[in-house]
Amino acid sequence: MKKLHKIGLASFAVALGAIVLSSCTANFCSVKEKSRILFAVEPGVSRYYNSEAEANEAKKSGENYSYPVVQQVAGTNVWQLVEKDGSNYTKSYSINSVITAADKASVIVPSAEYFARLDREVLNFALANAKAVETATDFSVIDKDLVERVLTDYGYLKYFGTTTKKDKPVDTLWVNFDKIYSEIVFDMGIEKAANADFNSIYKQTLETTINNHRSCITSVDGNYGSYGQDKISVKMDAKSWGYAWGRGGAVIEGLIVYPVSCLVDVFANAFAGHNPANFANGVPQILSLLLVTIFVRLFIFLVSFKSTMTQQKMTSLQPELQKIQAKYPNSNTNPAQKQRLAQEQMALYKKHKVNPLSSLIVLIIQFPVFIGVWGAMTGNAILSTGSFLGLNLSTSVWDALTNANKVWSGGWWTALVLFILMAVAQFLAMKVPQWIQKRKAKKVARLTKNPAQTQQNRTMNIVSWVMLIMIIFMGFTLPAAMGFYWFIGALVSLAQSLITNAIFSRKRK
């Protein structure tokens, strides 16, 4: 029971530490891209139609149409409809989350009149910017199609704006929103508009949502992702290597995150025939992940090859080590025996030119690579586009398994199968080398039981289980792309262990 308790506590500590450290990778999304994602997630509560009759015809039975029911937007040929299902707005699930949070905090929720007014002001603001930019476009007749196109291109300005710092313009969230809100309060009065407490909850809720979206790394301009209840793709700007180095000055972003993400882009675009429409089925992304995983694992293998061979040498020296350890059965409690044991072990290592600390080199290399690959898989824009067998690769396995809307969909089953395959592959990758070493150790006749060696074996066993539990735990919270990377990586590690052992055994013979 104590052993399980230790394993549980150690697993939790390691997983928590890895998650905290992994959060050190910078978010590549610019303020403008965050604003675009925000508008896809929370586009407002209004739907627009070309006539009053069309808007009334669109009303759904059983829905609640509080004020305003249907009204024309001034200066346009479109009619606005705010649709509610009970107390929930059907156009924006995010607004419903904000309202739920406000209710829990006992904050007054503004009426549909305020939200409708906010949408109209945002539309007018977007139209004004569109007219200023698109001088060749005919805005004499503003119909539904034009309104939807303008909101798609300029609706993000609801959240995006610029401020001046040290005489330089700086992109900032909420600048335009605050201006529009102030105008509404001046016209409607604070009694009818949202109050400061509701606005604070609105911003906090949406900022929490946007911080969970990091998939903005791309080497080619384009529309990526699948955001909001309508699964909208938003425009992402190409990132340069210099941009990566500028993300807080972090080395991991420049050396690992950006190069790995670019590899994903290059291979995915090649498999898609450089046609973004082919990203919809997720096959180019999966093939790209396969190649990138092999390249990353090959890099780790080449860099740590000497250390890996040293570990194999240490495995082959186990018979001699166990004979030395058998000479000092009380080394765990007797300082003199412990010192002599250490001296003879170091003499054996020196004779065979083995550095027992070389295994640390593998960990030193693997950990930053792991963090960097995590950042690349989480931040890559192409991986957030489309879905493989119903599973979006930027969605975590946990979200896919717990989303009630996907319980019987292909995405749910894909996530479950991926998680099982990843867990089994990781188990084999960790245990097979131990089984090989244990089989070799059985061939050595022990003279007596050695408490020090027994304790060491127990410690190594606990560490292995902690690592396995950590990976399984993190497999739930990681993006599906990272789960696929771990699955392929485990198969590569397993093959590497078997091949390395076979080569070394043959060489030793």
pLDDT in tens, 348-357: 777 777 776 6
Among the three residues 179, 213, 247, which one is the final residue of a domain in this structure?
Answer: 213
Q: Is the pLDDT of residue 56 over 60?
A: yes
First vs last C-alpha separation in the chain: 43
Q: Is the pLDDT of residue 482 over 90?
A: no
Give the long-range contacts of residues 172-176, CB within 8 A, separation 24 or more. Answer: 172/31, 173/31, 173/34, 173/35, 173/38, 173/207, 174/203, 176/125
> Based on the structure, what is the number of domains in the chain?
2
- Confidence label for 422 from pLDDT (cuts 50, 70 and 90): confident
Among the three residues 175, 195, 213, which one is the final residue of a domain in this structure?
Answer: 213
CB-based contacts of 38: which residues, under 8 Å, 6+ apart? 156, 158, 159, 173, 206, 209, 210
Residue 334 lies in a domain: yes
Q: Is the pLDDT of residue 77 over 80?
A: yes
Q: Which of 124-128, 227-231, 375-379, 436-440 has the highest mean predicted lDDT (pLDDT)?
A: 124-128
Q: Is the pLDDT of residue 396 over 60?
A: yes
* Same domain as 263, residue 158: no
Cα dihedral 447→453→457→462 (10° resolution): 150
**Phi, psi (rounded to 5 degrees) for 360:** -65, -25
Average pLDDT over residues 372-389: 89
Residue 24 lies in a domain: no
* Same domain as 247, residue 374: yes
* Same domain as 137, residue 284: no
Average pLDDT over residues 58-80: 79
Enclosing domain of residue 64: 31-213
Structure confidence at residue 251 (pLDDT): 78
Residue in this structure with the two tokens 């004020």, named with its chain if needed? 67
285: its two tokens: 């992304």
Average pLDDT over residues 313-339: 73
Q: Which of 63-67, 84-88, 95-99, 400-404 has the highest mean predicted lDDT (pLDDT)?
A: 95-99
Structure confidence at residue 408 (pLDDT): 43
* Same domain as 122, residue 39: yes
Structure confidence at residue 284 (pLDDT): 94
The single-letter code of the amino acid at 292 is: V
Average pLDDT over residues 254-278: 92
372: its two tokens: 């960097």
Residue 20 lies in a domain: no
Mapping DSSP to helix (H, G, I), strand (E, B) and coil, where does residue 280 land? coil
* Same domain as 481, residue 417: yes
Q: Is the pLDDT of residue 500 over 80?
A: no
* Same domain as 395, residue 499: yes
* Same domain as 249, residue 167: no
Q: How far apart are CA 1 and CA 430, in angstroms?
A: 23
* Same domain as 278, residue 179: no
Q: Is the pLDDT of residue 466 over 60?
A: yes
Q: Is the pLDDT of residue 285 over 80?
A: yes
Structure confidence at residue 149 (pLDDT): 95
pTM of the predicted model, to two decimals?
0.80
Mapping DSSP to helix (H, G, I), strand (E, B) and coil, where does residue 282 land? coil
Average pLDDT, the chain: 81
Structure confidence at residue 505 (pLDDT): 67
Average pLDDT over residues 380-386: 91
Closest CA to 84 of 97, 94, 69, 106: 69
* Same domain as 160, residue 263: no
Residue 21 lies in a domain: no
* Same domain as 159, residue 42: yes
Question: Could you give the angle at which helices 305-316 and 318-326 cross, rounded to 10 degrees?
Answer: 50
Higher-confidence residue: 317 or 424? Answer: 424
* Same domain as 162, residue 66: yes
Structure confidence at residue 1 (pLDDT): 44
Residue 378 lies in a domain: yes
Structure confidence at residue 7 (pLDDT): 45
- Confidence label for 173 from pLDDT (cuts 50, 70 and 90): very high
Q: Is the pLDDT of residue 71 over 50?
A: yes
Structure confidence at residue 405 (pLDDT): 47
CB-based contacts of 362: which residues, under 8 Å, 6+ apart? 300, 304, 307, 308, 311
Lowest-pLDDT range of 3-7, 47-51, 278-282, 486-490: 3-7
* Same domain as 79, residue 45: yes
9: its two tokens: 């506590």
Q: Which of 106-110, 328-332, 488-492 has the highest mean predicted lDDT (pLDDT)?
A: 106-110
